[in-house]
Structures are given as structure tokens and as C-alpha cells.
Amino acid sequence: MTSKIHPITAPVSPPAPSDPHDPRVMDGSVWREFCATLEDAAQIVLDDEAPASARDRAEGFRYLVHFLSAGTVACVTHDDPDYPVFGRLMDHTMPWGLDNPDCLYLHAAIRGDARYRIRGNLGSANHIDIQANYGHFANGDISSWGTLSSVTREDLETDECGDFELTLSTERQPGNWLGLTENAEFVMVRQYFNDWENERPAELSIERIDAIYPPPPLRTDQIAARLDKLRRWLERGGKLWESMSRGLLAMEPNTLFIHSPNDSDQRAGMAGQAYGMGNFRCDPDEAVVIEFVPPACRHWSVSLANYYWESIDFAERQSSLNGHQARLDSDGVFRGVIAHVDPCVPNWLDTGGRAQGSLALRYLDANTTPMPTLRSHKLADLQSLLPADTPMVDGAARTRSLENRRHAVWRRFRR
């Protein structure tokens, strides 16, 4: 006796919109326009005011590749609000925009008239923030983007394993919910890692509720719009970050200012975070000592960046420190030492041989926002300026520390 095979029924996809045969795609002009913008981006590196050493030229063109890679994620690969997928907006292979070495940034496109579901496991990062925003970084205009709503780990109901589901929509939903408005355009997830070696990243997915899979074929008007957005990313976005970097470097050497945390999330920043921004200036025979008493807070960090607002090689160099990694002196003071060569102290901040760059300080959910002092000294005088009980770090210990740091970064960004 033979069994009867019953056909499998599946949801019927609605007919895909007909392709408009965008003329710029059909004749290739949209690609030529993109390539022209990419060529013009070289002016960021070749401008008369940009640093012009051989190393700076090499780093500058590498930065353009990094920035293009990030733009491809934000503007093309992960710019489908109907079938969103989380992509890394920046990491150790594509730093930009004064990125935080402690953070894993995720980005996905959304639209305000749809509903979405984020689910997965929250992992064990020191802090996680899921934020809905409007605007786009490609606009190159801070006033054109902003935050609609956000939730943190503490706001979310999870099971005993840390698994959860979160609905994103304009109308309130039962359970975990993140409110949208009609102008919503992207979700950003920030995960702050304190103990790099032991904290585990979240495992997250996002999908539009009621989307029918597989997705329909890509249309010519969609790819034209995404390439135009990528052009704006390179042109307008690139100019914005360059101007902000130049502004910090034009300040008095070794100074910074701190933005109030009260409105830190108004322009897609982290809610509750005080941002300190400034610069460092350190010649090869100098050391710049940064001092402050860390406040009671969720997370704090200090990090160095180059001319192009890229965090300095934080996987390979100790160019940043956070509250878990840093050593406080017996008086409760953090004393970081910015220097070109290893001063053999725990709180070395490695410039990677750069005489100047940007300096970033972050306090998250802090009870106060202490202003650090930065003082330049001769490297030869450093030992006499630090507390007598400052421990020494020998070459073998530094090698182990850097190896652990490198492997921790690789694990964080392993997928």
C-alpha cells in the first residue's frame, strides 16, 4: 500500500511591486556618481590642513576604507526596513566617529508604520541599551537625527536564562515594548563591556512582524536610493566628523569639556551618559598625566583617538581604560599616563606614536561628573610625579596583558 503525499501549503506572498527600471541604474550612471563621490572623499586626507606625513597619509586612506565599510553596512547592506538584519556599525576593523572601545554597536533599519520583534539572549555585558531613532548619520547634520525611545537591560523582562522578546511599534504592546513614531528610521544597540575577558555579547535578531519570507527581489529604485545614501555618508557624514575632530584639536592642548548627561540621548547618544571630549598633545619625550576621582557610576572610560576620529588600535594597544581595567591609587585617584613608549605603569594610555589626537571620557549614570586635569611633563620625570607605591609593569606582564586584551576583542567581535 502506498501512502499519499500531501502537498505542503505555505503563505502566499503578495505580488512584488513591479520594477520601475530606474534609469540611473539601467545605464550605470548611479554607480559612476558614487565613484565620483568616493574619489572626491580623498580631499579629507589631501586637504592642506590635514596632517601630511607618510604615516598620516597611510592612515588617512585606510580611514576612508574603514568609513566606506561602515557606510556600506548603514546605507546599503543593512538598510532594508522591511527585512532588517542587525549589522555592526563600527568595530576594531572599522572605527569612526570617536567610537568607544568598550562598546559593541549594532544597527538595523526600521520604519514607523511597521511593527518589529527583537529577540534573543541579553548576554552579560555591563550595560545594554536598545534605542529607536529618527534621521540617519549619512545626513551629516546632528540636528536632523534624534532619539525616540530606549530601553536598558534593567527595563526588560527575561526568563531565567536571559532570553527575551521586545516589540517595537507605535501602539503600546503587552510585555516588553519600545515605542516608535511615524518618523522612526533605525535601531541602535549599544553593549558596554567592563570586563572584556569574561563578559559575553548578546545574541540578537530583529524581524518585521508579518513579513513574508523569502524577501522579494531587489528593485532598481531601492539600490539607487541606497547608493545615494552611501554618497551622502561619504560626503556629508565625512565632513561632519572631520570638522568635529578639527574642532577638538584646535582647542588648547590637553584640555576637554564635558557635555551634561541630561540631554545625552537627544541626538542618538547614550541615555544618561556624560560625554567628555578634548584632545591630547604629547611629544616623544613627554608624558601627559590625566587625573580624576572616578564617580560612582555604571561605567566609566577614557580613550584616545587619532586625527580621523578613529579609536587608536584598541585591540593591539592599551589606548583605552575603563573602570574594571584601570588601577586607582590609594587616594582613590585615577592617574593615566599618555605616552609614546611604555612608562612601565599600569595605567599607560598608548598614543601609538601620535603626537596629538582626540581624547574621550565617558561617565554612564554617574552621581557627579568630575573634570579631569591634564598636565604635560618630561617622561624622565614621571616616576617622581606619581605616588611612591605605584607598581611597575615589566615587559613580560605587559605582553600578557596585551595578549589578553587582543583575544578579548576578537571574542567580542567574533560574529
DSSP β-ladder status, 286-292 and 334-339? antiparallel
Distance CA 339, CA 378 (A): 10
pTM value is: 0.93
| Angle formed by the axes of helices 220-232 and 29-40, nearest 10° | 10
Mean pLDDT of the chain: 95
Edge-to-edge, what's the strand order for the sheet holding 356-364? 256-258, 273-281, 356-364, 299-305, 320-322
Three-state secondary-structure class, residue 57 = helix
What are the structural domains, with CATH classification, of the chain? 23-244 (no CATH), 246-412 (2.60.120.1600)
Residue 414 pLDDT class (50, 70, 90 cuts) = confident
Q: What pLDDT, on the 0 to 100 scale, is given for residue 2? A: 52
Mean pLDDT score, 309-328: 98
Alpha-carbon distances of 214 from 11, 131, 211, 232, 280, rounded to whole Å: 11, 27, 9, 30, 51
- What contacts 58, CB < 8 A, 6 or more positions away? none
- 137-146, 259-268, 299-308: least confidently modelled range: 259-268
Q: What pLDDT, on the 0 to 100 scale, is given for residue 134? A: 96
Q: What pLDDT, on the 0 to 100 scale, is given for residue 14? A: 61
Q: What pLDDT, on the 0 to 100 scale, is given for residue 60? A: 96
Cis peptide before 214 (omega within 30 of 0): yes
